Homo-oligomer: A and B are copies of this chain.
Amino acid sequence: MVQIPKTPDPASSSAPRSVPTSADVARLAGVSRATVSYVLNNTSAVRISEPTRRRVHEAARELGYVPHAAARSLRAGHSRLVLMPAPSFPAGPLYSRFLTELQWALGRLDYTVVQHGTVGLRGDEAARAWAEMRPVAVLVPGFDLGPQGVEVLKRSGARAVVTLGPEAVDGAHALLMDHEAVGHSAARHLYERGRRRIGVLIPAEEGLEVFSAPRLDGARRAVEGTDATVTRVPLAYEERDAARLAARWKSLGLDAVFAYNDEYAMLLMRALQDEGLAIPGDTAVIGADDLMLGRLLRPRLSTVHLELPSGRDLAALVDRAVRDPDAAPERHKVLGAAVVHRESS
């Protein structure tokens, strides 16, 4: 980083200021601390006149006071904090959109959503780090959380734990992302297009096994009992590795490949084309995620369109679970998988 010469900052030379409290606000507004709390936390249970509300808000603004979420949650015995571990894989456009919609929906239900960056922690160890924040609910996407981790979270006061992954975890609500169905749809499509030697691309990058393993299983299941074969094909997301794979492609004897997702499909397709292979003539290619870039490729990329759960439905499930923490865990299947057939297969 380039250090730029500093200009003196007038604010920094003043005496340290103390943090204003709700008592300061009450004093300035001429009301009780309870009234301050009712007004600023938007409690609807208590009737407070409009002029009083305005006086409290003005005093709070003048003093620069904002309520303390942690103190409030300590008093209430639970927070409105919904915690999600930040994904350890680079979030694609599909997941980003889902996340924004979910945060919006939970915000409308008066929850605060934070993503916790648990870099380097795994499974139940990560769960302990999350528990320190005392969330009222935890949403865990594609993570290796076990029943013990769920227990730790519940003992620390979480009323709802919801997992998004291929399998349910004891004690937690589950949105079952059926990645087997993704691989199944892709391989079945290739089989129906007359292909019999099907490769399934497995990203070499860490953190993606939870998705790639069930996709491979699904592809195997799709051709079970037929004369078709499924071959595991590892690939790192790098041009060099793709070129190496393309150079020995003919020796693999594959006539089709399910390329994990659209981005890996783009990488592989380019390498195969550079090697002089015709797509789909020599090898049919299908991706997944239905990203814009697939439509921009030539030939246009066939893909598996995924339907993530709606943010609104998931927010409603969280709210239901928080209100009734003793209800039996819900199980929902949420990943729609539909083949979009274009030109590459």
Q: Which residues of A contact B (CB under 8 A)?
A: 1-4, 6-9, 11-13, 16-17, 19-20, 63-71, 73-74, 79, 83, 86, 88, 90-91, 93, 96-97, 99-100, 103-104, 107, 112-117, 119-120, 128-129, 131-134, 151-152, 154-157, 170-171, 175-176, 237, 239, 263, 266-267, 270, 292-293, 295-296, 309-310, 313, 317, 325-334
Query: Which of the residues B120, B171, B331, B332 comes within 8 Å of A104, measured between beta carbons?
Result: B120
User: Whole-angstrom distance between the alpha carbons of A185 and B170 in the complex?
Assistant: 55
Q: Which residues of B contact A20 (CB under 8 A)?
A: 155
Task: Select which of B79, B104, B154, B171 is within 8 A of A119 by beta carbon.
Answer: B104
**Contact (Cβ within 8 A) A171 B295:** no
Contact of A12 among B113, B114, B326, B334 (CB under 8 A): B326
Which residues of B have CB within 8 Å of A132? 66-69, 112
Given A1-B309, A104-B119, A330-B6 in contact, is the A266-B68 Cβ separation under 8 Å? no
Interchain CB contact under 8 A, B120 and A116: no
Cα–Cα, bound, A90→B100 (Å): 9
Which of A65, A120, A296, A325 has the most chain B CB within a 10 Å cutoff?
A296
User: A12-B326, A117-B103 given as contacts; is B333 within 8 A of A4 (CB)?
Assistant: yes
Q: For the complex formed, measure the closest distance between the CB of A269 and the CB atoms of chain B, giving whole angstroms.
A: 8
Pairwise interchain contact A70-B66, C-beta atoms closer than 8 A = no
Contact of A133 among B13, B70, B313, B330 (CB under 8 A): B70
Contact of A66 with B115 in the complex, beta carbons under 8 Å = no
With contact pairs A65-B155, A292-B239 given, residues A115 and B112 touching in the complex (Cβ less than 8 Å): no
| Contact yes or no, A1 B313, CB < 8 A | yes
| A270 to B294 Cα, complex, angstroms | 12
Q: How far does the alpha carbon of A65 sit from the alpha carbon of B132 in the complex, in Å?
A: 10
- Known contacts A103-B119, A107-B120, A119-B107; decide if A133 and B6 are in contact (CB<8 Å): no
Bound Cα distance from A132 to B11, whole angstroms: 23
Q: Are A170 and B11 in contact (CB under 8 A)?
A: yes
CB-defined contacts of A69 to chain B, threshold 8 Å: 70, 132-134
User: Which residues on the B side are within 8 Å of A330 (C-beta)?
Assistant: 3, 6
Top 8 A-B pairs, shortest CB-CB distance: A70-B70, A103-B117, A64-B155, A115-B115, A114-B114, A4-B331, A69-B132, A66-B131
- Docked Cα-Cα span, A172 to B230, in Å, equals 57
Contacts of A293 in B (CB 8 A): 263, 266, 293
